[in-house]
Structure 1
Amino acid sequence: MSLDIESDVPLRALNTFGIEARARRLVRIRSARDVRQVVDHPELGRAPKFILGGGSNVLFTKDVCDALVVKMEVRGIRVVEDDARATLIEVGGGESWHDVVTWTLAQGFGGLENLALIPGTAGAAPVQNIGAYGLELSDRLESVDVVDFVTGRSATLPAAHCRFGYRDSIFKRELAGKSVITGIRLRLPKPWVPVAGYADVERWLQREGIGQPSPQTIFDAVCAIRRSKLPDPAQWGNAGSFFKNPVVNRTIRNEILEEHPDIVSYPLEDGTYKLAAAWMIAACGWKGQDLGKAGVHAQQALVLVNRGGASGADILALAHAIQDSVRRKFGLTLEPEPVIV
């Protein structure tokens, strides 16, 4: 079966910012065999590659993407094991992440509900080590299937080998551009225990009078909270949180507290502190403000939006302006979450 290769492909519908850009060449990957065909191709095998999943964590800043766009479309969800200790689920890298979460709940399996409504694909989830409302993917990931872009060989990496960190993994560093994730396995532990300690979730459950939440009620809480804070990309193009929350040591955190006693911070297990980037951006006066056709969302300062017709360069200019403001006021440099191409 031959590769599905396309030329001069519009990318606006393939990125949630809604940026007008084109791919010089795009290949659709529907199996690990397709990746091996790309590797063996006399021209494409040597070409620089950019992996595109749901397009929810990318900012195109050029009119044309010269790298070969590898569009991940491997499908399939199935239960591999189900016993008294856990349920093991295998997922194709091209599946919508939110669809995976809703599928597990429909099958009666809890464990992923805190990660509801995170845009993107299952294959992209380990790259970013997606996380929200007290849970990270690394808490549930069993293993990752990858194909090497140089040799074409397939391998399965246990979660312990993925070097997960806060919005970080081996796939953003050592394996960036060198391999593609074709599938993942998730282990959902039994008995199910709710992760309901996150402040927003606690408040929602209290308001609804729910003392003993089910996986579905945690899911409902997370969806309601996210929808109240985050814009629909169909209305305002965006990539969710644009900046990471900076992690600092105790000394830096205390120095910032002396000058800004109201700053929001969270202690981490290793003794460091996560500072709320949204609070800092709002403190710099950016919340709800625009710079040309790009803007900062009025309900969530971490979200940069396309007000209509913005280019990737417009979004990037706004991001740089915000970084400059935060650097001057707090002495910290905010790191973008999306991949900037």
Structure 2
Amino acid sequence: MDFIQQKDLSCFNTLGLKSWAKNYISLCNETDLKGVLGLLKSGAPYFILGGGSNVVLSEQIDQIVVHNQLKGINLVQESASEWLVEAAAGEIWHDFVVYCIQQGWYGLENLALIPGTVGAAPVQNIGAYGVELKDRLDSVLAYDPLTQTERVFNNGQCCFAYRDSLFKHEEGKGLIITAVRFRLPKQWTPVLSYPDLQQYESLQPGLTAQAILEAVCDIRRRKLPDPKVTGNAGSFFKNPVIPAQQYWPLKQQFPDLVAYEQPNDCYKLAAGWMIDQCGWKGRQLGNAGVHARQALVIINTGKACAADITAIAKAIANDVMNKFGVLLEPEPVFVGAGY
């Protein structure tokens, strides 16, 4: 088990924030896992770090940082109708999606190029281009450091919701996810409900999962900055869901309001549209800014720390609240400092 004091985490978060872990553990195999479980049994505070794509790290983190880098992909079971595929938590999500398509295991192609690791995917219930993780997930395997027991959560037990799951809340956020299992159907049906895919010119009748994967990657690259070039955490705010009684007066006041009807007489608003209407696209505040092409993306303009990201996020949320009366919630987890 690789235990390091004062570990630089700047390269382990896609925002590229200056951050140091007081105590850092690299979790790479089963032997490491036993050591980590023994260390954390004492109740010492800890944080599980994956790909660092959905976190805002403070400059100094006093919690023990457990960097989950467990690897491995296995076909657990095959039936006449589906494949049951397991991926270790430390696998890079996009690499896993590509591998599945190469093996002929289709169904995850709409989720291509989402940054982060497999283990982090169910925490956030990642979703894109008409597909959410919950649509494909079978179960999550995890260890509880306090009870020293392995637990398995089926799809229903994960309590998935929009960008939410059990693993974001008290019962589940302390668990160390070790692997995730997916049920991928042999009778593959492409999901093309998202407008960007419907309009994508290269998708023709007889399309393949590989073609959808390539289209999704192309769309994402055109819309979103590469975190290796410009530090960012992807979409920074959730698209807020409001009841119809709040939506209709807003629609009357703002006829161009972008929204999508949801079940239970609710509407999901486009947070990026509202942020753009508040004049934030391309603006900078301190060492952070809003991307010039995508208002949902907060970027590190070079030397940002967590305080810079927090300041601009709060300023944006305040402006949206003042103009539209709608609360914006951040998607990333703030570690070491609150939002």
1:100-139 matches, within 5 Å, as: 100-139=96-135
Unpaired runs of 5+ in structure 1? none
Partner of residue 228 from structure 2, selected from 234, 237, 252: 234
In 2: Cα distance, 1:270 partner to 1:79 partner = 38
Partner of residue 69 from structure 2, selected from 73, 77, 80: 73
In 2: Cα distance, 1:45 partner to 1:30 partner = 21
SS at match of 1:267: strand
Q: TM-score, normalised by structure 2?
A: 0.96
- Residue identity matched to 2:252: E
- Residue identity matched to 1:304: I
Greater shift after overlay, 13-22 or 270-279?
A: 270-279
Q: Which residue of 2 aligns with 1:4?
A: 2
Q: Which residue of 2 aligns with 1:92?
A: 88
Q: Is the 8 A contact 1:35 1:147 kept in 2?
A: no
Q: Which residue of 2 aligns with 1:146?
A: 142
Q: Which residue of 2 aligns with 1:340?
A: 334
After superposition, what is the alpha-carbon deviation per residue over 1:154-211, rounded to whole angstroms, capped at 9, x for unaligned? 011111100000000000013344211110000001200000110001101xx22612
Q: Is the 8 A contact 1:90 1:184 kept in 2?
A: yes
Q: Which residue of 1 aligns with 2:209?
A: 215
After superposition, what is the alpha-carbon deviation per residue over 1:98-132, rounded to whole angstroms, capped at 9, x for unaligned? 01100001111110000000000000000000000
1:179 maps to 2:168? no
Shift of the alpha carbon at 1:35? 3.6
Shift of the alpha carbon at 1:261? 1.2
Partner of residue 17 from structure 1, selected from 10, 15, 18: 15
In 2: Cα distance, 1:284 partner to 1:8 partner = 40
Partner of residue 255 from structure 1, selected from 249, 253, 267: 249
SS at match of 1:333: coil
In 1: Cα distance, 2:197 partner to 2:132 partner = 15
Shift of the alpha carbon at 1:34? 3.3
Q: Is the 8 A contact 2:166 2:173 kept in 1?
A: no
In 2: Cα distance, 1:100 partner to 1:31 partner = 18
In 1: Cα distance, 2:238 partner to 2:206 partner = 32
Q: Which residue of 2 aligns with 1:159?
A: 155
In 1: Cα distance, 2:281 partner to 2:112 partner = 25
- Residue identity matched to 1:53: G
Q: Is the 8 A contact 2:239 2:269 kept in 1?
A: yes
In 2: Cα distance, 1:188 partner to 1:209 partner = 22
Greater shift after overlay, 178-187 or 163-172?
A: 178-187
SS at match of 1:208: coil
Q: Is the 8 A contact 1:52 1:71 kept in 2?
A: yes
Unpaired runs of 5+ in structure 2? none
Q: Is the 8 A contact 1:39 1:46 kept in 2?
A: no
Q: Is the 8 A contact 2:55 2:233 kept in 1?
A: yes
In 2: Cα distance, 1:134 partner to 1:150 partner = 37
Shift of the alpha carbon at 1:212? 2.9
Q: Which residue of 1 aligns with 2:294?
A: 300
Change (3 A) 1:50 1:169: same
1:327 maps to 2:321? yes
Q: TM-score, normalised by structure 1?
A: 0.95
SS at match of 1:287: coil
Q: Which residue of 2 aligns with 1:271?
A: 265
Aligned residues: 335
SS at match of 1:67: strand
After superposition, what is the alpha-carbon deviation per residue over 1:249-278, rounded to whole angstroms, capped at 9, x for unaligned? 111111211111111101123332110000
